[in-house]
Amino acid sequence: MSVHQLGGSGTDAAAEVLRSIESGRVFDQPRAEAAIRELLIAVGEDPERPGLLDTPGRVARAYREVFAGLYTDPDAVLDTTFDEGHQELVLVRDIPMYSTCEHHLVSFHGVAHVGYIPGPTGRVTGLSKLARLVDLYAKRPQVQERLTSQIADALVRKLDPRGVIVVVEAEHLCMAMRGIRKPGASTTTSAVRGIFQSSAASRAEALDLIVRR
Ligand SMILES: Nc1nc2c(ncn2[C@@H]2O[C@H](COP(=O)(O)OP(=O)(O)OP(=O)(O)O)[C@@H](O)[C@H]2O)c(=O)[nH]1
Ligand SMILES: [Zn+2]
């Protein structure tokens, strides 16, 4: 894991600071705690009552975990590759996925299906790395379309494959628990690259395997 640890001795967990790979910004635990405390006050709660005393720290740590993908380098996740000479589809289906809608900061969750056809060298990556890639991009403030494209583009960048197909199916709690209140509504997004873009037959074959239950 390419988590950048800064500050302190590097051995004191409390002093550990996470730095964002892309923006360079850090996860600021005291600031997150203060913000949650303010939010409790803003909604008319009393952050000093016993049940809420530890809540700001707890919620801040939860956000740190939920947004851990901001601090991990996607290209490092795909550093494990093998030259297997495999020339056909590799597909991992039904990867559980929890992400956070960047509009409302509530969860959208479901499954991701990630498939690719290796390039001429037949270079493949570890199957778990596909699930790690999903996790990494899911653990950021997101919209589902961008999440789907980012997973596909990382695979294109690192594996130079003949094609990539990513399908994400998710329920958005911002549509279920508030607002329009439609629990059970499901959103499907796809991102296809290479041969899955240029060949309707290849795309149909992969989609057939993905939707098969
Ligand atoms: N395209 C897309 N839209 C999303 C995603 N997550 C949330 N949204 C939508 O983002 C929109 C934000 O709309 P706004 O009108 O700014 O916010 P809002 O008043 O809270 O909207 P409602 O949810 O309709 O109450 C909503 O329509 C959400 O359903 C996503 O991953 N992709
Ligand atoms: Zn939302």
pLDDT given for residue 24 in this prediction: 84
Active-site annotation holds for 174: yes
pLDDT given for residue 51 in this prediction: 98
Q: Which residues are annotated as a binding site for Zn(2+)?
A: 101, 104, 174
pLDDT given for residue 173 in this prediction: 98
pLDDT given for residue 213 in this prediction: 66
What is the ipTM metric for this complex?
0.95
Amino acid at 87: Q
Q: Where are the domains of the chain?
A: 5-71, 79-211
How far is 35 from 37, CA to CA, in rounded Å?
5
pLDDT averages per 10-residue partition of the chain, 213 residues? 38 61 87 98 98 98 96 90 91 98 98 97 94 98 98 96 98 98 98 98 96 77
pLDDT given for residue 25 in this prediction: 82
pLDDT given for residue 2 in this prediction: 41
Dihedral sign computed on CA atoms, order 138, 141, 146, 150? negative
Neighbouring residues of 45: CB distance < 8 A, sequence distance ≥ 6: 52
C-beta 7 within 6 A of ligand 1: no
Active-site annotation holds for 172: yes
How far is 138 from 111, CA to CA, in rounded Å?
11
Fold of 79-211: GTP Cyclohydrolase I, domain 2 (3.30.1130)
Please state which of the four CATH numbers 1.10.286.10, 1.10.10.60, 3.90.190.20, 3.40.50.720 is assigned to the domain occupying 5-71: 1.10.286.10
**Count of residues for the chain?**
213
How far is 149 from 46, CA to CA, in rounded Å?
42
> What are the phi and psi torsion angles at 105 (to 5°)?
55, 40
pLDDT given for residue 119 in this prediction: 95
Instruction: Name the CA radius of gyration of the chain, rounded.
Output: 20
pLDDT given for residue 17 in this prediction: 73
C-beta 180 within 6 A of ligand 1: yes
How far is 109 from 187, CA to CA, in rounded Å?
10
Question: Would the pTM count as exceeding 0.95?
Answer: no
- Ligand 1, atom nearest to 144 Cα: 31
Whole-number Å distance, alpha carbon 172 to ligand 2 midpoint, is 7
pLDDT given for residue 1 in this prediction: 38
Active-site annotation holds for 104: yes
pLDDT given for residue 16 in this prediction: 61
